[in-house]
Structure 1
Amino acid sequence: MMLINKEDLAVKNFSKRLKEAMGENTVRAFSKISGLPASTLNGYVNKQTYPSLDRLAVIAKASGRSIEWLASGEVADENMITVSQYDLRVSAGSGALVEEERPIAEFRFSTDWLRQQGLHGKELSIVQVMGDSMEPNLFDGDLILVRHDEARDGICVIRIDQDVLVKRVQYDYAERSYLITSDNPRYKNIQLDNDFKGDFNVIGQVVRVLQRVKQHDPVM
């Protein structure tokens, strides 16, 4: 597993990669190949401006290089799968308002490991726990891997109205209701019956703790 910071994938050394992509072609010659104005390419070469995504795609097609390599210098590894970490402000306490749902970092996992965990091909994300309601299994600051498909029971990330929580969820098929509990006995249970009028959604099931802030023996 390898953490990739978004800022590390910036446009550093793009000019150097562009020159390599153009090969023996001059800027004017590559302009004719790509269809981009020579003045635009000169701006990239001289580090005065940087291309937008659509122009990266044009350069990639003309040079035979990948967009990923042009943008970051990274070469895609078919044996690695990227999973995004989101700033969901997942709460293990009384709830936290989701202000933004945007990726803030990326983790890469080998396809072999994902297959061993039964997670290959699944929709996954990573979020951070806030609060103490799931202690001693989940602590404030833990990073958790969440599977988004086929989630209904177990330790789950859920949304109740505008609050996002991580709780134990038990679905009653007969009553079509949810019992939501905390591992910390100081927190009360939540019963959501079929006639609940608010917004409720099971976002995903917690399948693994990727990073723990405390050393403890989980009983998940």
Structure 2
Amino acid sequence: MYLKNKEEKILKDFPNRLKDAMGSDTLRTFEEKSGISRSVLSSYLNGKTYPTLDRLTAISVASEKSIEWLASGEITDDRMVAVYQYDLCVSAGAGALVEHEKPVAEFRFSQDWLRQQGLHGRQLSIVQVMGDSMEPNLYDGDLILVRHDEARDGICVIRVDQDVLVKRVQYDYAEKSFLISSDNPRYKPFQLSNDFDGDFKVIGQVVRVLQRVKERDTVQ
């Protein structure tokens, strides 16, 4: 009985997987990509019929989705990428002293999702926000996904001497300096000029909030 129910659910959910695979493509556009007629695609989307293996392969190639996922909704481990959460808090306030950084949790993302987000092959990490200086975009306790590559603008994780902060960063090419500001108006911005004699580094850019303590919109 369990296997029968599971098989029925897999078939019932196929139209939703096909819609996801097609993305913003129209039936005409996806017909051109896959070689499958619009009438047949429409039948699949309405759950009236289901694709044979050759047509499932054509959908896979056209959409860049795995055959396994299209067929079952499941993804094997070899198509998953591990991203680690570290035991430091990035301060959205006055600053947090970092004594040690080690993984405390593992998150797994599909390669397809990372590719869609432009993050496949990038060095990523997950850290927790501490403080209120980035409200209303980031709240104390939020888990954020950080892309570790060269960044000069946007909401970034930065290191100033021994403090690790999450702030809004703007680079002034004329002055060759960084304006570091908070989204919470109660906190004053500060400038780091080219002659700053301390240790400063943009560690990475915040690309997504993975877990929120409050329901808000995505990071701007």
Give the structure-2-normalised TM-score: 0.64
The CA distance in 2 between the partners of 1:202 and 1:102, in whole Å, is: 19
Match of residue 96 from structure 2:
96
Retained in 2: the 8 A contact 1:135–1:184? yes
Higher fraction of helix? 2
**1:218 offset after TM fit, Å?**
4.7
The CA distance in 1 between the partners of 2:219 and 2:125, in whole Å, is: 22
SS for the counterpart of 1:113 is helix
SS for the counterpart of 2:96 is coil
Structure 1 residues without counterparts, runs of 5 or longer = 1-75
The CA distance in 1 between the partners of 2:91 and 2:172, in whole Å, is: 24
Equivalence map 1:171-190=2 (5 Å) = 171-190=171-190
SS for the counterpart of 1:93 is coil
Q: CA RMSD in A?
A: 1.1
Q: Quick one: structure 1 residues 106 and 207, their matched pair in 2 at CA, closer, same or farther if it must change by over 3 Å?
A: same
Match of residue 146 from structure 1:
146
Match of residue 166 from structure 1:
166
SS for the counterpart of 1:115 is helix
**1:78 offset after TM fit, Å?**
1.4
More RCO (CA 8 Å, sep 6+): 1
Question: Which residue identity lines up with residue 166 of structure 1 in the other structure?
Answer: V
Equivalence map 1:25-174=2 (5 Å) = 77-174=77-174
Retained in 2: the 8 A contact 1:142–1:211? yes
SS for the counterpart of 1:129 is strand
Question: Which residue identity lines up with residue 165 of structure 1 in the other structure?
Answer: L
Retained in 1: the 8 A contact 2:209–2:219? no
The CA distance in 1 between the partners of 2:139 and 2:112, in whole Å, is: 28
**1:101 offset after TM fit, Å?**
0.7
The CA distance in 1 between the partners of 2:159 and 2:150, in whole Å, is: 16
The CA distance in 1 between the partners of 2:219 and 2:155, in whole Å, is: 12
Any runs of at least 4 consecutive aligned residues in structure 1 with deviations exceeding 4 A, and if so which?
Answer: none
Question: Which residue identity lines up with residue 175 of structure 1 in the other structure?
Answer: E
Question: Which residue identity lines up with residue 192 of structure 2 in the other structure?
Answer: L
User: In the TM superposition, what whole-angstrom CA distance separates every residue of 1:41-97 from its partner, at most 9, and x where no partner exists?
Assistant: xxxxxxxxxxxxxxxxxxxxxxxxxxxxxxxxxxx8210000010112210010000
Retained in 1: the 8 A contact 2:208–2:219? no
Q: Quick one: structure 1 residues 183 and 117, their matched pair in 2 at CA, closer, same or farther if it must change by over 3 Å?
A: same
Retained in 1: the 8 A contact 2:148–2:204? yes
Give the structure-1-normalised TM-score: 0.64
SS for the counterpart of 1:127 is strand
Match of residue 35 from structure 2:
none
Retained in 1: the 8 A contact 2:209–2:218? no
Q: Quick one: structure 1 residues 211 and 126, their matched pair in 2 at CA, closer, same or farther if it must change by over 3 Å?
A: same
Identity fraction in percent = 81
**1:157 offset after TM fit, Å?**
0.2
Retained in 2: the 8 A contact 1:85–1:104? yes
The CA distance in 1 between the partners of 2:219 and 2:82, in whole Å, is: 28
The CA distance in 1 between the partners of 2:140 and 2:122, in whole Å, is: 26
